[in-house]
Amino acid sequence: MKILVTGGAGFIGSNFIHYWLENHPEDEIINFDLLTYAGHLESLQSIKDNPHYSFVQGDITDAKAVDEVVSKVEAIIHFAAESHVDRSILDPLIFTKTNIMGTQVLLEAAKKYGIKKFHHVSTDEVFGALPLDSDTKFNETTPYNPHSPYAASKASSDHIVRAYFDTFNVPITITNCSNNFGPYQDPEKFMPRLITNLLIGQKVKIYGDGKYVRDWLHVIDHCRAIDLVFLKAAPGSTYCVGGMTKDVNNLEVAQKVIKLLGKNEADSIEFVTDRPGHDRRYAVDWTKINKDLGWSPQYDFDSWLEKTVNWYKENETWWKPLKEKSESIYKK
C-alpha cells in the first residue's frame, strides 16, 4: 500500500513512520510536511535512504501541492496540525488555518482521487475538561466542549472529517488520543521540557498548583492503536485512545522524573503563573478500542516514563539544539 503521512517530521508522525516501516516493510510512505518549528527531519535520519520512504516538503493548505501527492497514494494518515495550547493562545489564527482549512483541503483531494482509507488523528482536548473530584472519563459519546483555540480547531476538523464520510462517502476513521510522550518530542512540551530542564540543571516549571491531570499515552502505544484502527476499523468509526488506568497529576509526574534522575525535589521545582483557560483534568476511557480491536498499552506509565527519560539522557544531540528556541514561547 502507498500511504501519505502528513506531518511526518513531527513528534508523533516521525515515530509512526519508524513504526510503520518496521512493522509493514512492504508498504511505501510519502512524508508530507511543511517543516515548521515542530518538524525535524533529524528524527528520520536513520530511514532517509529507505527505498520505501520519501519526503515532500509542502503545506496541507496548498491545494495544488496536496493534489500532487494525494494522486500518488492509496491512503492518508493525517497527523499534520498545530498542536501546542500555549502557542494557540499566542497566535490562534494559524491553528484555524492549518487544522481546519488544511484538513478540508486533504479531504477534497481524498474525495477527488478515491482514497481507500483516510485516518484522522485528533485529541481528547475536543471534549473539554473534567472535574478533579470525579471518576468521569471521556469516551466516544462525550459531547464536544473545547476550551482553547487549539482544541476548538481540532474539534472543527473532526466535524469536517465526519461530514465528508456522511456526505461524500470518504472512508474515514478518527482517533481521539490523550497526551503523547516519548522519543523525538519537542522540548517545549510538558514532559520533555521537565526532563530536559533537569538534565541541564534547571528547575521544573509547574503551572498553578500542579494538580492538573492528563491522561498520558506513550507514542508507540498510540502508533499501535492507529495501526489497528487504520487496518481493521469500519469506515466512519471513532476510537478514544488513552494510556492510563488511574490519575497522575503534573506535580506527581515531575516528582517521578526527579526521582528517576536522582535529583533533590526541594531544589528542582518552581511553581509559575497559570496559563489562561487551563483545563483541570483529562481522562480517557479506552474500553471500546480494547473490546473491538484488542488494543491495550504495552507497558504501564512508570515503565514508559523511565524509557522516555533514558532516551532524552542518551540523545542530547537531538534536543539540545532545540531547547533555547523552545523556551522562547514561555517568555512572551
- Name residue, grid cell 478540508: 104
pTM of the model: 0.94
What pLDDT does residue 332 have? 42
- Give the angle 284-83-319 at the CA atoms, nearest 5°: 105
Using an 8 Å Cβ cutoff, are 225 and 295 in contact?
A: yes
HEC-encoded secondary structure of 101-163: HHHHHHHHHHHHHCCCEEEEEEEHHHHCCCCCCCCCCECCCCCCCCCCHHHHHHHHHHHHHHH
CATH superfamily of 2-180+215-241: NAD(P)-binding Rossmann-like Domain (3.40.50.720)
248-296, pLDDT tens digit by residue? 999 999 999 999 999 999 999 999 988 787 889 999 999 999 999 999 9
What pLDDT does residue 329 have? 58
What pLDDT does residue 209 have? 92
What pLDDT does residue 277 have? 73
What pLDDT does residue 313 have? 97
Domain boundaries, the chain: 2-180+215-241, 187-213+247-281+301-331
HEC-encoded secondary structure of the chain: CEEEEECCCCHHHHHHHHHHHHHCCCCEEEEEECCCCCCCHHHHHHHCCCCCEEEEECCCCCHHHHHHHHCCCCEEEECCCCCCHHHHHHCHHHHHHHHHHHHHHHHHHHHHHCCCEEEEEEEHHHHCCCCCCCCCCECCCCCCCCCCHHHHHHHHHHHHHHHHHHHHCCCEEEEEECEEECCCCCCCCHHHHHHHHHHCCCCEEEECCCCCECCEEEHHHHHHHHHHHHHHCCCCCEEEECCCCCCCEHHHHHHHHHHHCCCCHHHCEEEECCCCCCCCECCECCHHHHHHHCCCCCCCHHHHHHHHHHHHHHCHHHHHHHHHHHHHHHHC
Q: Which residues are catalytic?
A: 124-125, 150
Domain made up of 187-213+247-281+301-331: CATH architecture: Alpha-Beta Complex (3.90)
Distance (Å, whole) CA 9 – CA 15: 9
Amino acid found at 146: P
What pLDDT does residue 90 have? 66
Distance (Å, whole) CA 284 – CA 179: 10
110: phi then psi, degrees, rounded to nearest 5: -60, -40
Distance (Å, whole) CA 96 – CA 104: 11
What pLDDT does residue 164 have? 98
- All residue ranges of the chain with pLDDT < 70 are 83-90, 328-332
| Grid cell digits, residue 92 | 490562534
